[in-house]
């Protein structure tokens, strides 16, 4: 067969219809910015979920990358702050394209919201997540700019979301971090706890907080160092006792 040159390929693509044209799906957007508090929450949630499911090859935890749901349409996209997909392969991605993921839709989505993003988070994004079939949708407002309790929770019911009624007595304001609002996530089997300006993940009904890989590694090193120091101290004490006996 004759070899098709690069120029011939270019001419062929130009004569084909738009459905045959290669589509570039952007994965970078310059205009996205966030506050220190928003960045801390996103970093913790994504890190804690990645660490929790690090041994599972069928769970992907994503953060701030585009989700495309319509092939050949680069404009149909959203970038959740944090999301998790059970049934998707654990691998690096520039973006998450549903048609390349066997149709696996994120089951849980987090948006770290603010006064400036609330209409998008509660409007277009919420509508798209409902349309895609997201099971649980959580909004966290670290600065309490429009959510006095800091958190709103939605769960799937039939073809849409049903808002979960939060305890009215709970005071989870940024000024009262010791009294935390706690919401259970059935899909994650975890408690979401609004602790002042932070949103943490806990084992259900317990005080065991999920750690990121860095936090877990730091704790392990501290424990190892403390154990070695205790062994050294014990050894020194045994030497002193032995000398006194002699």
Sheet holding 181-185, edge to edge: 181-185, 190-195, 198-202
The C-alpha atoms of residue 132 and residue 229 are separated, in whole angstroms, by 54
pLDDT of residue 218: 72
The C-alpha atoms of residue 52 and residue 74 are separated, in whole angstroms, by 32
Confidence check: pLDDT of 111 > 80: yes
The secondary element (H helix, E strand) that includes residue 233 is helix 213-245
C-alpha 6: how far from its chain's center? 42
Over residues 151-174, mean pLDDT: 82
Sign of CA dihedral 197, 109, 180, 50: negative
23-67 pLDDT, tens digit per residue, is 887 666 656 667 899 999 999 999 999 999 999 999 999 999 999
Average pLDDT, the chain: 84
Is residue 116 very low, low, confident or very high in pLDDT (cuts 50, 70, 90)? very high
Neighbours of 204 (CB within 10 A): 13
The C-alpha atoms of residue 188 and residue 74 are separated, in whole angstroms, by 30
Confidence check: pLDDT of 1 > 50: no
Confidence check: pLDDT of 238 > 60: yes
Confidence check: pLDDT of 82 > 90: yes
pLDDT of residue 227: 66
Judged by DSSP in three states, 66 sits in: coil
Instruction: Give percent above pLDDT 70 in the chain.
Output: 75
């Amino acid at each position: 067969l004759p070899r098709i040159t690069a120029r011939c390929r270019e001419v062929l693509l130009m004569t084909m219809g738009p459905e045959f044209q290669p589509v570039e799906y952007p994965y970078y957007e310059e205009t996205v910015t966030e506050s220190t508090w928003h960045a801390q929450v996103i970093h913790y949630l994504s890190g804690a979920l990645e660490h929790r499911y690090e041994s599972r090859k069928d769970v992907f935890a994503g953060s701030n990358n585009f989700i495309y749901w319509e092939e050949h349409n680069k404009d149909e996209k959203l970038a959740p702050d944090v999301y998790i997909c059970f049934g998707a392969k654990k691998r690096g991605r520039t973006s998450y394209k549903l048609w390349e993921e066997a149709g696996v839709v994120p089951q849980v989505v987090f948006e770290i919201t603010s006064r400036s993003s609330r209409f998008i988070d509660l409007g277009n994004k919420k509508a798209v997540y409902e349309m895609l079939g997201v099971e649980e949708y959580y909004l966290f407002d670290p600065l309490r700019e429009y959510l006095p309790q800091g958190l709103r929770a939605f769960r799937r019911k039939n073809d849409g979301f049903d808002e979960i009624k939060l305890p009215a007595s709970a005071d989870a304001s940024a000024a009262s971090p010791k009294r935390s609002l706690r919401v259970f996530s059935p899909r994650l089997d975890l408690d979401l706890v609004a602790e002042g300006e932070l949103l943490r993940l806990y084992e259900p009904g317990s005080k065991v907080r999920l750690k990121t890989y860095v936090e877990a590694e730091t704790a392990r090193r501290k424990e190892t160092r403390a154990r070695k120091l205790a062994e050294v101290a014990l050894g020194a004490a045994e030497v002193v006792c032995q000398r006194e006996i002699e």
